[in-house]
């Protein structure tokens, strides 16, 4: 009999409870991927990968243990369960750990209406053709002197989750992507830049020639950079780096950080953190979303959540354990792998767009910086102090001007959030997305 991913998770959970676990859950993660890369017309990589992993978590009283395997041999399930139960006996108690209680779980779910599976499965030759087309378009851009490589990938993943609390859910997702990294200039003056796109459906993927040409233009535009002066001025983040600010926000509102008291936002729930009108939304139900999912890592049905409404912080990101620590109820944001317990996470996260175009957002800036690349990170999650290396372009009299590099932008995230402005150019590309963002009165360290 052929077993489905959900069958494996259900059977492992059932055996755990029969052998003495007070509660148990199991997660199956399977993936198939095909990826290629080319450089200067030569195939550099062609790789196909198929993996299956199964993780079991058992509870004995207030003790728990996790064990994982990549061997889906049901004859070995009893031994796996016994090993997990033995591990639980010697581990310390955790009064906050456990399966969902007093909250509705999904029951049995094997279908969803999120349109997450594209039946188109490309072969290696079609991926190579896409990568070559992408690279050719980049190399055709005047000023591009070399290629750092183009890649094209396809993948399909399957999740199956079962628990003794009545959870039995599964879903699948596909992903197509294309990327290009181009070089311009020579020697020590060489500059590199890139472009990338990823989608659930191949039909939604941007044409490789567009990706390649944009990567080439990006690299050429960065030639002969200078350093900005050191001073206080507006900083404008391009969309491809603006989403990093979402990462700093979610780290600060993660229930684990709040429970530990290690977040600069720990006392800000229900308070204004951003200017009026700013909204931050996590939407696991976005059609064809890169991170869409019908349920979380604990079997709680997912729902869109407005984390920030009109500038006011509305929610922490919670799984069951962090919710219990805070005396709250999970809001379905548990993420998990096969060898680790659930922890709070996000799905399709984004800043809602504003009304102004990017051009209007910078129109009144006499002198500022436009950031297109960031490197390094010195973020203090307790104080919110922020400092990152950057490169990009000067803004002079409301227009993008000469390229700049080797400078640092710094501030405090709480102050930065309070001055944040958003443009109207939101596009969903990375799973965590933002439009162009402007923050005034930031410290810029250049020459």
255 lies in the same domain as 358: yes
Taking only the tens place, the pLDDT of each residue in 165-215 is 999 999 999 999 999 999 999 999 999 999 999 999 999 999 999 999 999
281 lies in the same domain as 171: no
Taking only the tens place, the pLDDT of each residue in 223-262 is 999 999 999 999 999 999 999 999 999 999 999 999 999 9
> Among the three residues 220, 252, 274, which one is the final residue of a domain in this structure?
220
> Is there a contact between 137 and 208 (Cβ–Cβ < 8 Å)?
yes
330 lies in the same domain as 361: yes
Taking only the tens place, the pLDDT of each residue in 407-419 is 999 999 999 999 9
429 lies in the same domain as 334: yes
Q: How far, CA to CA in Å, does 300 sit from each of 93, 116, 182, 330, 332?
A: 24, 19, 43, 9, 5
245 lies in the same domain as 215: no
pLDDT at position 267:
97
The token duo for 30 is: 């399977």
State the SS3 of the chain: CCCCHHHHHHHHHHHHHHCCCCEEEEEEEEEEEEEEEEECCEEEEEEEEEEEEEEEEEEECCEEEEEEECCCCHHHHHHHHHHHHHHHHHCCCCCCCCCCCCCCCCCEECCCCCCCCCCCCCCHHHHHHHHHHHHHHHHCCCCEEEEEEEEEEEEEEEEEEEECCCCEEEEEEEEEEEEEEEEECCHHHCEEEEEEEEECCHHHCCCHHHHHHHHHHHHHHCCCCECCCCEEEEEEECHHHHHHHHHHHHHHCEHHHHHHCCCCCCCCCCCECCCCCCCEEECCCCCCCCCCCCECCCCCECCCEEEEECCEECCCECCHHHHHHHCCCCCCCEECCCCCCCEECCCCEEECCCCCCHHHHHCCCCEEEEEEEEEEEEECCCCCEEEEEEEEEEEECCEEEEEEEEEEEEEEHHHHHHCEEECCCCCCCCCEECCCEEEEEEEEECC
Taking only the tens place, the pLDDT of each residue in 12-21 is 999 999 999 9
209 lies in the same domain as 333: no
> Is there a contact between 295 and 342 (Cβ–Cβ < 8 Å)?
no
> Among the three residues 220, 235, 258, which one is the final residue of a domain in this structure?
220
pLDDT at position 1:
64
333 lies in the same domain as 196: no
In sign, the C-alpha dihedral spanning 244, 245, 247, 248 is positive
CA distance 445 to 23: 55
246 lies in the same domain as 153: no
367 lies in the same domain as 303: yes
The mean pLDDT value for 378-395 works out to: 97
The confidence band for 140, taking pLDDT boundaries of 50, 70 and 90, is very high
Range of the domain at 243: 225-447
CATH label of the domain that carries residue 143? 3.30.2290.10
Q: Is 431 exposed, middle or buried (0-12, 13-18, 19+ CB in 10 A)?
A: middle
Q: How many CA atoms lie within 13 A of 403 on its CB side?
A: 18
Number of domains the chain contains: 2
pLDDT at position 2:
82
The residues facing 61 across adjacent strands are: none
Q: Is the pLDDT of residue 79 over 90?
A: yes
168 lies in the same domain as 211: yes
In sign, the C-alpha dihedral spanning 119, 123, 124, 129 is negative
The token duo for 390 is: 């950057």
Q: What percent of the chain has pLDDT over 70?
A: 100
Residue-level length of the chain: 447
The confidence band for 64, taking pLDDT boundaries of 50, 70 and 90, is very high
Our CA dihedral for 145, 147, 148, 151, rounded to 10 degrees, sits at 160
> Among the three residues 220, 250, 267, which one is the final residue of a domain in this structure?
220
Q: How far is CA 168 from the centre of its chain?
A: 25
Taking only the tens place, the pLDDT of each residue in 30-39 is 999 999 999 9
379 lies in the same domain as 275: yes
138 lies in the same domain as 236: no
pLDDT at position 18:
97
């Amino acid at each position: 009999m052929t077993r489905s991913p959900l069958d494996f998770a259900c059977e492992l959970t059932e055996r755990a409870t029969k052998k003495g676990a007070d509660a148990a859950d199991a997660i199956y993660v399977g993936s198939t991927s095909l990826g290629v890369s080319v450089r200067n017309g030569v195939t550099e990589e062609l790789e196909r990968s198929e993996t299956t992993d199964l993780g079991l978590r058992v509870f004995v009283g207030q003790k728990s243990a996790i064990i994982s395997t990549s061997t889906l041999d049901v004859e070995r399930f009893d031994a796996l369960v016994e090993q997990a139960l033995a591990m639980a006996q010697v581990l310390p108690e955790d009064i906050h750990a456990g399966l969902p209680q007093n909250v509705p779980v999904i029951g049995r779910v094997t279908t969803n209406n999120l349109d997450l599976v594209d039946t188109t499965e490309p072969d290696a030759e079609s991926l190579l053709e896409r990568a070559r087309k992408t690279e050719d378009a980049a190399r055709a851009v005047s000023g591009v002197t070399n290629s750092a490589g183009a890649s094209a990938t396809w993948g399909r993943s399957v999740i199956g989750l079962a628990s003794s609390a009545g959870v039995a859910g599964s879903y699948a997702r596909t992903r197509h992507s294309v990327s290009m990294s181009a070089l311009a200039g020579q020697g020590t003056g060489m500059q590199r830049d890139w472009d990338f796109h990823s989608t659930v459906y191949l039909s939604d993927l941007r044409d490789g020639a567009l990706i390649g040409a944009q990567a080439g233009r990006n690299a050429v535009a960065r030639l002969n950079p200078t350093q900005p002066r050191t001073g206080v001025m507006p900083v404008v983040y391009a969309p491809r780096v603006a989403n990093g600010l979402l990462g700093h926000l979610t780290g600060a509102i993660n229930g684990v950080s709040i429970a530990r008291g290690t977040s600069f936002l720990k006392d800000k729930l229900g308070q204004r953190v951003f200017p009026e009108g700013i909204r931050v939304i996590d939407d696991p139900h976005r059609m064809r979303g890169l991170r869409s999912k019908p349920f979380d890592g604990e079997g709680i049905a997912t729902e869109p959540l407005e984390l920030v409404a009109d500038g006011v912080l509305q929610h922490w990101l919670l799984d069951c354990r962090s919710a219990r620590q805070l005396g709250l109820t999970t809001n379905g944001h548990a993420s998990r792998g096969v060898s680790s317990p659930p922890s709070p996470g996000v799905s399709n996260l984004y800043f809602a767009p504003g009304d102004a175009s990017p051009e209007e957002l910078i129109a009144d800036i006499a002198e500022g910086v436009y950031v297109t690349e960031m490197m390094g990170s010195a973020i203090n999650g307790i104080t919110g102090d922020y400092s990152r290396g950057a490169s990009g372009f000067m803004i002079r009299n409301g227009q993008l001007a000469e390229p700049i590099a080797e400078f640092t932008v710094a501030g405090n995230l709480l102050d930065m959030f309070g001055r944040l402005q958003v443009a109207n150019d939101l596009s969903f590309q990375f799973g965590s997305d933002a439009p162009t963002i402007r923050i005034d009165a930031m410290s810029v360290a250049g020459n």
